[in-house]
Amino acid sequence: MECDGIHVRSGTMTTIGLIGSGNIGSTVARLAVAAGYDVVLSNSRGPETLSDLVDTLGPRARAAMASEAAEAADIAVVTVPLKNYRRVPVEALRGKVVIDTNNYYPDRDGHIAELDDESTTTSELLQAHLPESHVVKGFNNIYVDHLATLDRPAGDADRSTLAIAGDDAAAKQTVSQFLDAIGYDTHDVGALNEGWRFQRDTSAYVTPYAMPGTTYPDWSARPTSADILRDALGSARRYRDM
């Protein structure tokens, strides 16, 4: 069926398609499998390189080419280096919800003029590449080890909150439901162009989930309430405003 322009397959367990299966992708896959989702993993090197990860995840997981993972996905998670975002399948993701985890690292990605001058954001670049998909920014501002350990059941006093941004309300609701299922509350920052508020090097990037006084790579995770996250988001500044 189709709901508010978003394709949702009726009568099947939701499948999470991973476009990229590095640290963040594999961690999201583990959380999704633990919550009862099926996952299809892909990377740039081919499905055979993911056999050990698939074996670890169990029967709910399989590996495929990126185009196949996109086709199978009810919700796709794009977690590739930003410099490769144009390789993300377009047609197979038409009408689908796509979670974008990307951050911009010029040393890795090369300089991208419109990001350097802050006329756009990473997730807006992906949305332009996927014009008929529903891109929601998420998972990009939390250290992977913290993401793997801070999940808690609904109602737990130590449940943490993750930020999202997007232009489609129904897509954000879909992502919020997924995050709830894997152990996180959600704070909606607003439209996709507001995603800069929790991009790399802002006050809402990584540190809200780290115990004060600890430093990388020995950050200790702390439960991060919506209030802690809102305070960090409220303190975010763009370079051009500094």
- d(CA 218, CA 156) in angstroms, rounded, equals 25
Tokens of 216: 């990388």
Structural contact between residues 113 and 89, judged by C-beta atoms closer than 8 angstroms: no
Question: Is residue 217 reached through a cis peptide bond, with omega within 30 degrees of 0 on the bond before it?
Answer: yes
Give domain 2-236's CATH number out of 3.10.20.30, 3.40.1180.10, 3.60.40.10, 3.40.50.720.
Answer: 3.40.50.720
Per-residue pLDDT of the chain (242 residues; tens, 9 = 90+): 344 555 444 334 699 999 999 999 999 999 999 999 999 999 999 999 999 999 999 999 999 999 999 999 999 999 999 999 999 999 999 999 999 999 999 999 999 999 999 999 999 999 999 999 999 999 999 999 999 999 999 999 999 999 999 999 999 999 999 999 999 999 999 999 999 999 999 999 999 999 998 888 888 999 999 999 999 999 988 765 54
The answer to whether 123 and 86 have CB atoms below 8 angstroms apart is no
Dihedral sign from CA coordinates of 107, 237, 142, 29: negative
**51 HSE (CA, 13 A, CB side):** 2
pTM of the prediction?
0.93
Tokens of 137: 């920014």
Cβ neighbours around 156 below 10 Å, total:
12
